[in-house]
């Protein structure tokens, strides 16, 4: 049923086909397998329907659960019944045809009418007094983003459907999304290929006198012009740079200078699938202390990924990441790994982060960070076709407790161990010599 499209006579099936033919869309076979697994999970939980909410926060990655079911990267909602076709509420009426034409997975895409529209659909499908699983975002994935379930809408929905039973079902999709299909692995590989093009754009751009914003603009141009989507880019430059690449604001009009260290972290995006990369660049030969820090970063990556094989406990992998830092007498603001796919950081995650503690100390080696770790995921065992982003942000407190270097890449879990997914080198990139 193309009810929403039929109301717009200017939108024909031919036009729809032309658009979907030129978008990075997963196959109908992927949809069939994916929906089967989701409905199997619903059956186990005795749910008659899922109500999925999404938002455009975190560079649009908070659409992950809705996009997983529909391939629509929109802030909106979806009624996904145990039997029958789903309905997506996608916003303003004049935008609905354009949204609907970007997927061939869902036929019924409607403009949003808030709680009333959702309640009407649930009643139409005989679900007004059934068990409904509510799927939000931001809770299972480490609470790094705000929940996507709108309070006022949900409160109204409870009043409109007093006989329905609602329960949290966010973990259902989070669990299913942990292990990637072959098609998903293909999209993640293309995202990693885009990451390399973005890395090359940095190499071609960074020179004394170039502004930070020019570097980021060229990274985005490399991504978008090669079929990618807009995504996160963090950056900081200086001599020395800040301990972690800047988030807010991500770039400035600061002009690079010889001797600068440029820290970058970015997510390349292909069809919604995100590849995570962190890399450090030096504009000219760096100080020997930075060389030493980066050598530790490389050892961390090698140690951590060597522990990644099917059946390994995530806690053991996390310890393997941290060990070289401790052995070297250095420290870190962030170290570990987290799931990657339609969102970052996806579940499961085991990242130990350092939160600065502002206190006076006479000892440069004293611990200046409170540790926060997603340790509840430590007992999870790695499985083949899981994909992770790695985070390695190391500093030497004896050299400079406020500045360090970054390294990270995408890794897939195979029967033979960890597989690095991008062609970006692990070594520190020295440019402009």
Global pTM reads 0.90
The reply to whether 182-431 shares the fold of 3-177 is no
Residue 9 binned pLDDT confidence (cut-offs 50, 70, 90): very low
Sorted by where each begins, the domain ranges of the chain are 3-177, 182-431
At 362 the pLDDT is 52
Three-state DSSP class for residue 138: coil
**383: pLDDT strictly greater than 80:** yes
Residue 207, judged by CB atoms within 10 A of its CB (0-12, 13-18, 19+), counts as middle
At 358 the pLDDT is 38
Could you identify the residue written with the tokens 């001797």? 259
Supply the Cα-derived Rg of the chain in whole angstroms: 23
| Tens digit of each residue's pLDDT (9 = 90 or more) over 239-261 | 998 877 776 667 889 999 999 99
Pairing of strands 331-339, 387-395: antiparallel
Q: Are 268 and 274 in contact (CB under 8 A)?
A: yes
**27: pLDDT strictly greater than 80:** yes
Residue 376 sits at the vertex; the CA angle it makes with 375 and 380, to the nearest 5 degrees, is: 100
Mean local confidence (pLDDT), 264-270? 96
Mean local confidence (pLDDT), 160-167? 96
* Structure-token pair, residue 343: 């969102």
**164: pLDDT strictly greater than 60:** yes
Residue 267, judged by CB atoms within 10 A of its CB (0-12, 13-18, 19+), counts as buried
More confident residue, 382 or 137: 382
- DSSP-derived secondary structure for 386-417: BEEEEEEEEE-TTT-TT-EEEEB-EEEEETTE
Mean local confidence (pLDDT), 206-216? 95
At 92 the pLDDT is 82
Mean local confidence (pLDDT), 269-287? 96
Architecture of domain 182-431: Alpha-Beta Complex (3.90)
**347: pLDDT strictly greater than 90:** no
Q: How much of the chain, in percent, has pLDDT values that exceed 90?
A: 68
At 58 the pLDDT is 76
Residue 7 binned pLDDT confidence (cut-offs 50, 70, 90): very low
Beta strand residue intervals within 75-175, DSSP E: 77-81, 87-89, 108-110, 131-135, 165-168
- DSSP-derived secondary structure for 43-60: HHTT-SEEEEE---TTTT
**163: pLDDT strictly greater than 90:** yes
Q: How much of the chain, in percent, has pLDDT values that exceed 70?
A: 87
Residue 6 binned pLDDT confidence (cut-offs 50, 70, 90): very low
At 359 the pLDDT is 43
| Dist CA 147 CA 250 (whole Å) | 23
* 3-177 has CATH 3.40.350.10 classification: yes
For 339-365, give one letter per residue: b (16+ CB within 10 A) or e: bbbbbbbbbbbbbbbbeeeeeeeeeee
More confident residue, 340 or 353: 340
At 354 the pLDDT is 62
**14: pLDDT strictly greater than 60:** no
From 86-95, 187-196, 286-295, 316-325, the region with the lowest mean pLDDT = 86-95
At 8 the pLDDT is 45
CA dihedral 102, 106, 107, 112 (to 10 degrees): -80
From 44-48, 153-157, 343-347, the region with the lowest mean pLDDT = 343-347
Three-state DSSP class for residue 323: helix
Residue 9, judged by CB atoms within 10 A of its CB (0-12, 13-18, 19+), counts as exposed
H or E segment at 322?
A: helix 314-327
């Amino acid at each position: 049923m193309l009810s929403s499209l039929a109301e717009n006579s200017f939108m024909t099936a031919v036009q729809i086909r032309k658009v979907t033919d030129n978008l990075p869309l997963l196959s109908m076979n992927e949809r069939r397998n994916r929906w089967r697994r989701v409905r199997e999970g619903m059956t186990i939980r005795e749910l008659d329907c899922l109500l999925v909410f999404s938002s455009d926060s975190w560079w649009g990655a908070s659409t992950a659960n809705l996009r997983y079911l529909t391939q629509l990267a929109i802030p909106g909602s979806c009624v996904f019944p145990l039997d029958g076709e789903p309905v997506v509420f996608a916003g303003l009426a004049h935008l609905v045809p354009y949204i609907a034409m970007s997927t061939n997975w869902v036929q019924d895409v409607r403009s949003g009418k808030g709680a009333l529209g959702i309640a009407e659909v649930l009643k139409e499908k005989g679900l007004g007094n059934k068990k409904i699983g509510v799927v939000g975002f931001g809770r299972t994935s480490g609470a790094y983003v705000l929940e996507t379930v709108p309070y006022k809408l949900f409160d109204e929905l409870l009043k409109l459907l007093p006989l329905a039973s609602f329960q949290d079902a966010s973990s259902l999709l989070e669990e299913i999304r942990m292990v990637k299909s072959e098609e998903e692995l293909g999209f993640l590989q293309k995202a990693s290929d885009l990451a390399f093009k973005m890395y090359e754009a940095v190499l071609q751009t960074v020179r004394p006198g170039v502004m930070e914003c020019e570097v980021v603009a060229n990274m985005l141009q490399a991504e978008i012009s090669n079929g990618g989507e807009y995504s996160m880019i963090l950056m900081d430059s200086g001599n020395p740079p800040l301990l972690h690449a800047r988030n807010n604001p991500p770039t400035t009009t600061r002009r690079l200078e010889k001797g600068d260290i440029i820290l970058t972290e970015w997510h390349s995006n292909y069809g919604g699938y995100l590849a995570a990369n962190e890399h450090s660049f030096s504009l000219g030969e760096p100080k020997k202390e930075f060389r030493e820090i980066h050598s530790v970063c490389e050892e961390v990556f090698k140690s951590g990924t060597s522990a990644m094989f099917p059946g390994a406990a995530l806690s053991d992998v996390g310890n393997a990441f941290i060990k070289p830092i401790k052995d070297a007498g250095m420290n870190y603001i962030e170290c570990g790994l987290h799931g990657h796919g339609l969102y970052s950081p996806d579940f499961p995650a085991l990242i130990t982060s350092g939160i600065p503690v502002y206190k006076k100390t006479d000892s440069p080696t004293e611990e200046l960070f409170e540790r926060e770790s997603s340790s509840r995921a430590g007992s999870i065992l790695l499985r083949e076709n899981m994909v992770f982003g790695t985070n390695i942000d190391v500093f030497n407190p004896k050299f400079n407790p406020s500045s360090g270097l970054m390294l990270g890449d995408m890794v897939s879990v195979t029967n033979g161990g960890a597989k690095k997914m991008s062609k970006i080198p692990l070594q520190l990139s020295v440019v402009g010599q």
